[in-house]
Amino acid sequence: MAIRYGWAWMLFYLIGSLWMQFQAQLLAATSAERYPEQPIETSILPFDWYELIFWVIVSVGFASIAINWHNFILRGKVGAARFSVQQLGIILAYSWRSLKISVLALLFAIPAIIAGKYASLLLLEIMSGRYDTYSSVIFSVSVIVIFLIVDVVFNWILLRLCLVLPAFAVGNHITLKQSFYLTAGSSRALFVTALFIALLNKLPMLHMHLGFFLPNLIANPLGLMHGLFMIYIGISVITVLYGQIVEGRSL
């Protein structure tokens, strides 16, 4: 069921995201023509509420997919075809836990984010005035490495806390603190996993790093499909991680 209805959510996500990107670009162009003296980023977008509603629906949809996927892999259960109020409560609770984990991981990663920002600014100051190809390559590679490290730190913290989600989906209860301690023995393996995920996250920007730019008509759908692919990878990784660490299953 998770896979079957997942395609519907993926299509909804893709069409909705492309529509919002198109509307944002259209509004930006219109605002620039009518109010050239007003910065575009300070204008109030008339479709902000539609965007918020869209992301809430998408979050609920992918939380539903994640819960069904956890149950299918860990318990062999197939989700019910009918939607109920009880299911909605479980989905919202799962979404709330996901949000808390993301915020907590972001807070822990703030030192790495600040260090990465200042390192980039320092590097920019050092490289200023140098316009040769070698210096440009060194600067680009250095910035990529800096933010790759930040991404790895964030992903690593997420993986250390993520046992809460599949546990909740199958009716178990694990706190964030318990999840962090349970994954301590797999810390190095999770670091490698975090690095792998961070490298995959860089794929949509690879064409820019190589010095050429794809048209938005191609780049935007590819970026969205990549995001969907990463969501499914993330759900599968934390499901397997829970099964191995908590339930003692083999890979």
More reliable by pLDDT, 182 or 230: 182
More reliable by pLDDT, 134 or 183: 183
Asked whether residue 239 is assigned to any structural domain, the reply reads yes
Q: Which residues contact 104 (CB under 8 A, 6 or more apart)?
A: 157, 161, 176
In tens, the pLDDT along 65-99 reads 889 889 888 888 876 555 566 778 888 899 999 98
Query: Is 129 in contact with 200 (CB distance < 8 Å)?
Result: no
In tens, the pLDDT along 120-159 reads 777 777 666 665 566 666 766 777 788 888 889 999 999 9
Look up the domain containing 10 and give its range.
Answer: 2-245
- Cα gap 110→6, rounded to integer Å: 33
Task: Name the percent of the chain in helix, strand, coil, to the closest 5.
Answer: 80, 0, 20
As a whole number, the mean pLDDT across the chain is 77
Dihedral sign, Cα of residue 169, residue 92, residue 68, residue 189: negative
pLDDT-derived band at 192, boundaries 50, 70, 90: very high
In tens, the pLDDT along 5-19 reads 566 666 766 677 667
Asked whether residue 175 is assigned to any structural domain, the reply reads yes
pLDDT of residue 46: 47
Asked whether residue 97 is assigned to any structural domain, the reply reads yes
Asked whether residue 250 is assigned to any structural domain, the reply reads no
Asked whether residue 224 is assigned to any structural domain, the reply reads yes
Could you tell me how many residues make up the chain? 251
Domain count of the fold of the chain: 1
Asked whether residue 251 is assigned to any structural domain, the reply reads no
**Given a cut of 60, is residue 53 above it in pLDDT?**
yes
**Given a cut of 70, is residue 209 above it in pLDDT?**
no
Asked whether residue 30 is assigned to any structural domain, the reply reads yes
pLDDT-derived band at 42, boundaries 50, 70, 90: very low
- Cα gap 68→233, rounded to integer Å: 15
